[in-house]
Amino acid sequence: MMTRKILIILTSHDQLGDTGEKTGFWLEEFAAPFYVFKNAGHGITLASPLGGQPPLDPKSSAEDFQTDATRRFNSDPDAQARLAETEKLSDLKAEEYDAVFYPGGHGPLWDLVSDVHSVHIIEEFWKQDKPVASVCHAPIVLMNARDEQGEYIIKGRNVTGFTNGEEEAVGLTQIVPLLVEDTLVERGGLYSKLEDFAPYVQIDGNLITGQNPASSESAALALLEVMT
């Protein structure tokens, strides 16, 4: 397989609304795709709105949420060093990459959803006919991206993302600024889901979305399939 350049864009936002609690990206949703892409021999660039170390949601380090990928990351100093030095999103050009992947966590609901550089990169990838993938809360980054006709790119396309039921289950329905499921539907997405916390991925051309943390690896594998 030809070596490709994959961009992984993470949140820089670390405050969970006005709760006083921390948030950020979800470890499994970064680690699983990172190693899927690395194992396949592709080049990986990590980026975030502010650059540098993106904030990790501390809850995602709990023992209950550890997987083979997170354990590998936690014992991989090279990967940790790379994560600590993410590129600044505003410095990147879409034409230099072959695909983009957005890990979730609650952070993107506050920053990436309206970050002008993120929206521009998504629109450029779309215009250049390159895959755009996101998982869990990260499909929210698609809500403001439009195609060359001015339509939202998710309008009329099959999508999934963190469900209202899943948000209710983690007790944050009243804290988050947006509900992923409702927002994707409002933007005209053909939203679907499985039962809460079951792995589920939707592929619609170059658009790949995963429902929840358990969908991270399969969403990354789907991205590789779309790239071939």
Confidence tier at 228 by pLDDT (50, 70, 90): confident
User: What does pTM read for this prediction?
Assistant: 0.98
pLDDT at 2: 81
Confidence tier at 66 by pLDDT (50, 70, 90): very high
The pLDDT tens digits for 108-132 are: 999 999 999 999 999 999 999 999 9
**Cross-strand partners of 175:** none
Task: Map out the domains of the chain as residue ranges.
Answer: 5-227
Cβ atoms 35, 78 nearer than 8 A: no
The pLDDT tens digits for 163-194 are: 999 999 999 999 999 999 999 999 999 999 99
What CATH fold (topology level) applies to the domain 5-227?
Answer: Rossmann fold (3.40.50)
Give the strand order in the sheet containing 5-9: 87-88, 43-48, 5-9, 99-102, 132-135, 207-210, 201-204
pLDDT of residue 1 exceeding 70: no
